[in-house]
Amino acid sequence: MRWGYKHSQKWSSGLRQIQDQESKEFLYQEVTRARREWEQACWAFQNAVGKDEVDVAIYTLEAAERKYQIQLKEAKQANVEWDVFKHGSYFSSSD
């Protein structure tokens, strides 16, 4: 049997699946990073003292919230489905 078009298609399909998985993992990391930054900004706002510190905390919180929204929107557009916030990490750790 010749190694031709069918094998090439199969290999190409496998490569796309790997790239899709890597893309989903990257999106997952970006979403969780943005959520962590948002949580830290919430904490900073709750613990801010003085007008200047409160102003900086508000600015930081708004920026973190917007970044989190953007990351969630990207994940939604990529049709990624995670239940990570209920069950922990979506991807198993290889450590």
**pLDDT by residue (tens digit) across 37-56?**
999 999 999 999 999 999 99
Residue 62 belongs to what domain range? 7-81
Distances, alpha carbon 68 to alpha carbons 17, 56, 92, 95, in Å: 26, 18, 23, 27
In a domain, 43, yes or no: yes
In a domain, 24, yes or no: yes
In a domain, 88, yes or no: no
Per-residue confidence at 79, pLDDT binned at 50, 70, 90?
confident
Please determine, for residue 95, whether its predicted confidence score (pLDDT) is greater than 50: no
What is the pLDDT of the chain when averaged over all its residues? 80
* Alpha-carbon Rg for the chain in angstroms: 20
Predicted structure pTM score: 0.68
State the pLDDT at residue 22: 83
In a domain, 34, yes or no: yes
In a domain, 92, yes or no: no
**DSSP, res 47:** T
In a domain, 55, yes or no: yes
Cα–Cα–Cα angle for 43, 90, 69, rounded to 5 degrees: 45
- Tokens 């991807």 correspond to 91
